[in-house]
Amino acid sequence: MAERVWLNSGRPIKQVLASIADGDTVQFDGPLAPATVRALERTLADKPDVTLRLYDSELTKLSVLAGFTKLRKLIVQCRALRSFDEIGALVHLEDLDLGETKSKLPNVSFMSALVKLRSLGIHGHGKGIEHVLELPVLEVLSLRAVKLDRIEPRHLSRLRSLSLSWCPGGIAHAAIGAPQLRTLALGAFRDATSADLTPLGSLRHLESLSLDSFPKLTSLEFLAGSPIRELAIQNATGLRSLDGLAGCAKLERLTLRAVPNLTSFAGLEGCRLRV
């Protein structure tokens, strides 16, 4: 089972490094001795499936990453950062997640050099994002609180998985620009109505859909005939009926949370839900 391994846990560093296994996430939330950093660099160079997570509220620069030239998986959650540019030198990165910062200065255009990137998560950083989405093998994208005005639908054409939260205009972008989507998660579209979700009916390869915080959602008719296998809906106070699922013959899994006004389950007869 994958675990989180804390470098500054108080245990001897050799013992900590020896405990790291494939799939683990290695993290630290404060300064490390140079010798510890070098030892970690050597360890992770031989473990490409290990994720490095920087979690430090006071870290202002990412110079600590300079020696991690073979790193493939990185999470950065450091609110004091003013730039992510040092990450641009980590050309073997395949998975990258950038957390929110207090500064609005960070520009993510540096990622245009990360041509091996397959999975990307960005929280609150929209500057330069139009360049990032030209990455040749990017398939998984998660955006939170990012304006989409600089993104053209064509930028999403290769995506297989997309997650959008607090991203105005995201529904149309997903439906028009990402016809190959298998997985879609939409959150915090508080003004979106059932009619606004109609374009999602054009996603003929969609297998998994998650809708969170859609208080004006009243109908699931937009899913008529959808090939989805999994559907999760939560915080949808306006939804009263599942009638729209009648044509979803492949639906196997349904998760409902905080849908207090739901009164009709009539649309489930034609589904093959697994209990």
* pLDDT at residue 230 in the model: 96
The band of 274, judged by pLDDT with boundaries at 50, 70 and 90, is low
* pLDDT at residue 2 in the model: 73
- Tell me the residue type at 190: R
pLDDT digit string (tens) for 225-268?
889 999 999 999 999 988 888 888 899 999 999 999 988 777 67
Domains of the chain, first to last: 1-138 (3.80.10.10), 149-275 (3.80.10.10)
pLDDT digit string (tens) for 258-271?
999 988 777 677 66
Cβ atoms of residues 92 and 75 within 8 Å: no
Dist. CA 96–CA 93, nearest whole Å: 7
Better pLDDT: 225 or 95: 95
pLDDT digit string (tens) for 158-197?
899 999 988 876 676 666 667 889 999 999 888 888 888 8
Locate all alpha helices (DSSP H) within the chain, ordered by sequence.
Answer: 13-18, 34-45, 129-132, 170-177
* pLDDT at residue 267 in the model: 64
Average pLDDT on 15-22 reads 91
- Tell me the residue type at 212: D
Average pLDDT on 20-39 reads 88
The band of 275, judged by pLDDT with boundaries at 50, 70 and 90, is very low
* pLDDT at residue 39 in the model: 92
Burial class for 103, CB neighbours closer than 10 Å (0-12, 13-18, 19+): exposed
Cβ atoms of residues 269 and 246 within 8 Å: yes
In angstroms, what CA-CA distances link 198 with 120, 168, 202?
Answer: 27, 16, 8
Quick one: tokens of 233? 């809906």
> Over pLDDT 90: what percentage of the chain?
43
Better pLDDT: 259 or 124: 259
Average pLDDT on 100-111 reads 84
Nearest residue to 230 via CA among 245, 210, 246, 213: 210
